């Protein structure tokens, strides 16, 4: 795509979860500004997922903003953890606009604590919202996207999942799980032009306030992440890509596999592995496997090559 051809979403229908504020709000506004009809989903709870929630006032305010700018939008107050409510949200979009082209899985909560001090209930809730919330929303649009032979799904992962972050074992586990979900769905959706990607944002929102100095917060405006979302949701989107974005900088993350070494399965294999661990973990010539089968292919290939030499 040439740099001067604009990314537009005319005729497209998008659902953005957790879109009452912060990053989700910016996603919804940007999609609408470029022509998409947008379902603005927000439970209206506190950032730790507490509170009665269910108030669509935050979502409605974003809808009003979109309409004032001449766009089309509707509010929805479903909790992403409630599959029936999520199915009803998708039906609401289809009844009004006939299809769903884009799903931005953005809803999330934080319950940060070191693992030693964390209650299991706080671990489970974070996994339920981030991972199962995205699973519920994706499942609710999956058959429809396969039927219409078009879909763009963006999972919101995080550097905390990709690389770790003290006090975020629950959040990090859920966020990397979304990458695993993307890896398989991108393979399963490809034949019907459903492209599934991940976005790892660095943004100052309600989720991060009080954690960084003001000048850093100013650089990390949520708007700066939006271009990456638009590219991942566009007709020309890549498939199976992890884009990182923050403060106007964009990177990609890859899960790679090293060349490894064949050591056989003799009685001293553990000692050999320990002695040659640096060789096994060396990143020279590493690859980005196109599917999980690549690991077995590499392993068996090295074993066969060694058998021939034997």
| Separation of alpha carbons 289 and 141, rounded Å | 28
Phi first, then psi, for residue 171 (nearest 5°) are -65, -45
Q: What is the DSSP letter of 6?
A: P
Q: How buried is 215 (Cβ within 10 angstroms: 0-12 exposed, 13-18 middle, 19+ buried)?
A: exposed
Do residues 158 and 172 lie in contact, with contact meaning Cβ atoms separated by under 8 Å?
yes
Q: Is beta strand 102-105 parallel, antiparallel or unpaired with respect to 13-16? A: parallel
Q: Active-site positions?
A: 171
Give the C-alpha separation, 177 to 172, whole Å. Answer: 8
| Alpha carbon distance 44, 46 (integer Å) | 7
Tokens of 58: 């935050």
Read off φ and ψ for residue 213, nearest 5 degrees.
-65, 155
Give residue for tokens 């209930």: 121
User: What residues form DSSP beta bridges with 38?
Assistant: 14, 73
Residues shown for the chain? 310
């Amino acid at each position: 795509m040439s740099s001067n051809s604009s990314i537009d979403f005319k005729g497209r229908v998008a659902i953005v979860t957790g879109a009452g504020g912060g990053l989700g709000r910016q996603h919804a506004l940007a999609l609408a500004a470029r022509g998409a009809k947008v379902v603005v989903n927000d439970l209206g709870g506190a950032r730790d997922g507490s509170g009665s929630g269910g108030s669509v006032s935050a979502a409605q305010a974003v809808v009003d903003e979109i309409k004032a700018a001449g766009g089309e939008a509707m509010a929805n107050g479903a909790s992403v953890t409630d599959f029936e409510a999520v199915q009803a949200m998708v039906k609401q979009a289809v009844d009004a606009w006939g299809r769903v082209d884009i799903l931005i899985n953005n809803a999330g909560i934080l319950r940060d604590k070191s693992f030693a001090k964390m209650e299991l209930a706080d671990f489970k809730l974070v996994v339920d919202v981030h991972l199962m919330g995205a699973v519920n929303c994706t499942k609710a649009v999956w058959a429809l996207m396969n039927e219409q032979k078009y879909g763009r799904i963006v999972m919101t992962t995080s550097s905390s999942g990709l690389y770790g972050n003290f006090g975020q074992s629950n959040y990090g586990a859920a966020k990397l799980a979304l990458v695993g979900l993307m890896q398989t769905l991108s393979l399963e959706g490809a034949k019907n032009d459903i492209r599934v990607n991940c976005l790892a944002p660095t943004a100052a929102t309600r989720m991060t306030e009080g954690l960084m100095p003001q000048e850093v917060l100013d650089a990390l405006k949520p708007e700066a992440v939006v271009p990456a979302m638009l590219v991942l949701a566009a007709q020309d989107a890549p498939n199976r890509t992890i884009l990182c974005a923050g403060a106007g900088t964009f990177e990609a993350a890859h899960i790679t596999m090293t060349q490894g070494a064949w050591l056989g399965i003799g009685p001293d294999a553990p000692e050999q592995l320990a002695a040659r661990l640096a060789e096994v973990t060396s990143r020279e010539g590493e690859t980005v496997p196109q599917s999980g089968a690549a690991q077995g292919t590499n392993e068996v290939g090295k074993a066969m090559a060694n058998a021939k030499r034997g």
